[in-house]
Structure 1
Amino acid sequence: MKETILLVDDEEGILIMLENLLRKVGYSSITKAGSAAAALTAVRTARFDMIVLDVMLPDMDGFSLCTELRKTVTTPILFLTARSSDMDKLQGLYLGGDDYVTKPFNPMEVVARIQAHLRRSSRYVSDAVSAEELYRYDTFTVNRTSGQLIVNRVEVPCPAKELELLLYFCKHPNRVFTAQQLYEQVWGAMVEGDEKTVVIHISRLRKKLEADPSDPKLIVTLRGIGYKFVPSSGG
């Protein structure tokens, strides 16, 4: 497998364990970083398809590092965190993380989530090459092939999972989906989804797309049911 993976953790044992497991399932291009500084150096010199990021690092916490990474990369980021509170999990997702696993974790669950993200990303790129998807609406345009989101004529950076979620909504306008259904379609069905992950990604999209994110008109919530994309026009 040609996908490139960056593992960031200050515990050498975790890095070695994850690397060995990933190599056993076929991934050979793996870079390990034991600090935030090493991770930043790595992303400046190479492109990665997946980043696994520990929250507790010696020189910078993973949340701050994620914020820094999101200035230049849209690569999916999976947090490994010993902080199990909902607030800590939500903070990581709000700052640009795509998924998280709490420590102590089942190593095979981490590998399964990595595989799910990479498989979805690979299918996403393959589909984009075979057929361009361009959606135009009153206030925004999203282009699957180029990976661009234009809001009010200004290009807005959009991490991979946010873009994929938005494209899924655009492809299925006026249809209602539960958070679990969205997780299965966008994050991958082989691992049990966390609805908070979907909720935060929708919140991040609303901040980019909605005139008033607190009163959304495009991605609406149907209480007790799910979410629906209501296009203004175009498409």
Structure 2
Amino acid sequence: MTIRLIIVDDDPLVRAGLTFMLGGADDIEIVGEASDGTEVAALVERCAPDVVLMDIRMPVMDGLTATESLRRTPDAPEVLVLTTFHADEQVVRAMRAGAAGFVLKDTPPAEIVRAVRRVAAGDPVLSPVVTRQLMTQVAGVPAGTRGAAAAQAVARLATLAEREREVALAVGQGRSNAEIAASLYMSVPTVKAHVSRILAKLDLNNRVQIALLAHDAELITTDTHARDSDVR
């Protein structure tokens, strides 16, 4: 299967470099480029990509706003955020908006190619270090605001069946499908089915959002997450 990719970055040299690098992969086809978030919606409609590699900081419409708008549309492509910062408020917002992960601009080329492939396959891209940073930021929200968010998150998770809540908690701990299957004594296809039902019931886009919701509900501490692997 060929992965159809759009590259969005306001720097033409960065776009050229990414096009050269990613276009060399046998299974990736660059189907479009954009220099600003305002161009994304029309380009996606015209080119029907599987993945959008989105710069988070652009002058007219930034990648965050473009991601939020794009992920609200039916059958939206996956979004892989491209940034120069490991973790900040904009990255957290991008994850909440439905971005499947992010890579740094100085990431080695082979790793960016792997990240695009993973996102296209439906697997979030967050390293353990980055995940801990993101969750630490979530934990750093002021107490009053955090309490309201926790109550709302708990209420949403309460709509899940017991087994679904167990899977949601495991996703929040950064466990892969295989690890969840082993710990909960179920098959990998059953885990995948549970994850799909969780996403549908909670109106979420991907596993990253499940993980953030579990942290919002204060079911997982940052220390616990630090001992686990990355969100896959």
TM-score band w.r.t. shorter chain: 0.5 to 0.7
Q: Counterparts of 1:183 and 1:12 in 2: how far apart (Å)? A: 39
Q: Hey, what does 2:85 align to over in structure 1?
A: 83
2:171, 2:211 within 8 Å by CA — same for their partners in 1? no
2:80, 2:119 within 8 Å by CA — same for their partners in 1? no
Q: Counterparts of 1:182 and 1:89 in 2: how far apart (Å)? A: 22
Question: How has the CA–CA distance of structure 1 residues 17 and 178 changed in structure 2, closer, same or farther, with 3 Å as cutoff?
Answer: same
Larger fraction in helix: 2
Higher relative contact order (CA 8 A, sep 6+): 2
Q: Counterparts of 2:171 and 2:102 in 1: how far apart (Å)? A: 22
Q: Hey, what does 1:42 align to over in structure 2?
A: 43
Matches within 5 A, 1:180-219: 180-182=174-176, 200-204=209-213, 214=217
2:9, 2:35 within 8 Å by CA — same for their partners in 1? yes
**Which residue identity is paired with 1:101?**
V
Gaps of 5+ in 1: 122-165, 187-196, 207-212, 227-235
Q: Hey, what does 2:141 align to over in structure 1?
A: none
Tell me how far 1:178 sits from its aligned partner: 7.0
Matches within 5 A, 1:172-187: 176=170, 179-182=173-176
Q: Percent identity?
A: 18
Larger fraction in strand: 1
Q: Counterparts of 1:173 and 1:199 in 2: how far apart (Å)? A: 13
1:6, 1:30 within 8 Å by CA — same for their partners in 2? yes
1:179, 1:199 within 8 Å by CA — same for their partners in 2? no
Question: How has the CA–CA distance of structure 1 residues 49 and 82 changed in structure 2, closer, same or farther, with 3 Å as cutoff?
Answer: same
2:5, 2:30 within 8 Å by CA — same for their partners in 1? yes
Runs of 4+ in 1 over 6 A off after TM superposition: 183-186
Question: How has the CA–CA distance of structure 1 residues 60 and 112 changed in structure 2, closer, same or farther, with 3 Å as cutoff?
Answer: same
Q: TM-score, normalised by structure 1?
A: 0.54
Matches within 5 A, 1:116-155: 116-120=118-122
Q: Counterparts of 1:97 and 1:201 in 2: how far apart (Å)? A: 12
Q: Hey, what does 1:53 align to over in structure 2?
A: 54
Alignment match of 2:104 (pick from 75, 88, 102): 102
1:58-79 deviation per Cα after TM superposition (whole angstroms, max 9, x unaligned): 2111111111111214321110
1:5, 1:51 within 8 Å by CA — same for their partners in 2? yes
1:51, 1:76 within 8 Å by CA — same for their partners in 2? yes
Aligned residues: 160
1:84-124 deviation per Cα after TM superposition (whole angstroms, max 9, x unaligned): 34433212211221101123332322111001222457xxx
Gaps of 5+ in 2: 124-159, 181-205, 226-232
1:2, 1:29 within 8 Å by CA — same for their partners in 2? no
Task: Indicate yes or no: 2:25 matched with 1:25.
Answer: yes
Find the residue that maps to 2:6 and give its secondary structure.
Answer: strand
1:158-210 deviation per Cα after TM superposition (whole angstroms, max 9, x unaligned): xxxxxxxx9xx85x869956734238889xxxxxxxxxx96643335x6xxxx
1:51, 1:75 within 8 Å by CA — same for their partners in 2? yes
Find the residue that maps to 1:30 and give its secondary structure.
Answer: strand
